[in-house]
Amino acid sequence: MRRLFLAGGAALALGAVGVGLTGMAAQTPRNETFRMLQLFGDVLAVVEQAYVVPVDNQKLIEAALAGMMTALDPHSNYLAPDGYSELQERTSGEYSGVGLTITVEGGLVKIISPMDDSPAGRAGVQAGDIISAINGQNAAGLSVTAVSEKLRGPMGTSVTVTFLRDGEEARDVVLTREVIKVESVTGRLEGDFAYLRISTFNENTGRELAETITRLKAEKPDIKGYVLDLRNNGGGLLTAAIDVSDAFLERGEIVSQRGRRPDQIERYAAKPGDMTGGLPVVVLINYGSASASEIVAGALKDHQRATLVGLTTFGKGSVQTVIPLGGGRDGALSITTARYYTPSGASIQKIGIEPDLEVARSEAEARIVSRSSFIYSEAAYATALDASIGAERRGSHTPREAPGEEFDKTKDYQLQRALDVLRAGGDLARLTPAPNTVVVTLPGQTPVVDENTEEDAPTPESIPPAPATDPSAPPPRTPEVTPGNLPTPQRR
């Protein structure tokens, strides 16, 4: 069975598209390729013989393979056998760690998202924070695998992590490792409305969402609308993202993906049946919402099924296929094989999905966006793929809303505004200003949020019609895959 994984920072899709390895001829002439391989062998031999201390050839070769993959884009990786085994282990949904999804960019270890109710989450770690040291040792320049080894450990043991956050002093946080059990969906009633939180997309998400909606309906049969919270959700299974989107849609395309060749197009459509009965829906997003989360947000927005509230998403719109090497004995490759597109044909790669109502969770968060929207997004990667539609992520600007000094800090401002949107029936024109709201400005900036006019708005690249297929024809071959979670980012 093919299993598709997507996640922010470095999405993973197992068996996402067929990869004809023998058909991907290198553009470099074969003789030149052989010469460069010989050069690699010569360099290895010199290092082995001349380096000041004995070397481990296996580690050198694995490092060379990792470097080759990262030269492609930030999300293509080589997994050594130990790393591949760890990837498979994490699919059980239970491991001992501190509950962080991380990535590495420019030598810095960045937090994509803290997991709900994890040691890191309870300690106040936020998306976009940087790990500068672990147990007093500098973390700069470490690989994701090396950081993983330092953060993971036996339950009950502690690790001291130094975090950096924009505009604040470094802080040391002592995190006690515990068994991390991933609970994908939680829900509760918020007055007349239902609140649904999805922390990750795994194989149980679709079922858990259906069970949660059913339970809340039983508790309050006259629910008037739903808030779907995807903030700091770094992604997960593509199939789970499709199931979640399908729960709110009656029909239509949810997402499509296109690979290197024109015939490498896959489409996923909704089945009849909206579990919410067409009631208003608000989706909460922020820059920690990535990949699978963006698929859901994009599908519901394009079908005008939901209003998006929060901040622009991460902008992770590429798909990776994990290909075991030697049946997994030699590790595996996670290689970018496709981009995915929202129903309107828009690629969000490096762009993200903008909310209908831009709301920062705090004044400090609003100031971060005011300084640079690139501080935490796919666009920050120097080697990231482009969007393929000629558009760019919006630069630094002032968010429309942020809570003022008098706002109750124990409350969730973005959630309160989402509930306000539901009370207005999803009609932003009817939305009244929130009390204790401020517009954050810096010198030389205007608090007005610029809007694309119809003339200057980027035109999404249209997706060609799906080709007619012969039902009796065998499906295209895909690489053998083994279920797993991503190498980068990884949960710790």
DSSP 22: G
Query: For position 146, what pLDDT does the model report?
Result: 83
Query: For position 481, what pLDDT does the model report?
Result: 30
Return the active site residues: 291, 302, 316
Query: For position 38, what pLDDT does the model report?
Result: 93
pTM to 2 decimal places: 0.73
What is the residue extent of each domain of the chain? 94-181
Query: For position 480, what pLDDT does the model report?
Result: 33
CATH number given to 94-181: 2.30.42.10
Query: For position 26, what pLDDT does the model report?
Result: 47
The residues, ordered by sequence, that sit 6+ positions from 234 with a Cβ below 8 Å of its Cβ are 7, 8, 9, 101, 112, 113, 200, 288, 290, 291, 293, 489
Partnered with residue 194 across adjacent β-strands are 189, 226
List average pLDDT for each run of 10 residues in the chain, which is 492 residues long. Answer: 47 35 53 91 95 94 90 88 70 72 81 84 88 94 83 91 88 92 89 96 92 97 97 88 97 94 92 96 95 96 97 91 89 91 93 95 85 73 78 83 85 95 90 66 39 32 36 35 33 45
Please state the separation of Cα 59 from the chain's center in Å. Answer: 30
Q: Which residue has the tokens 């009390």?
A: 435
Query: For position 231, what pLDDT does the model report?
Result: 94
Burial category of 204 from C-beta neighbours within 10 Å (exposed 0-12, middle 13-18, buried 19 and up): middle
Query: For position 304, what pLDDT does the model report?
Result: 97
Burial category of 141 from C-beta neighbours within 10 Å (exposed 0-12, middle 13-18, buried 19 and up): exposed
Number of helices (H), then strands (E), in the chain: 10, 24
Partnered with residue 285 across adjacent β-strands are 310
Query: For position 435, what pLDDT does the model report?
Result: 67
Query: For position 492, what pLDDT does the model report?
Result: 47
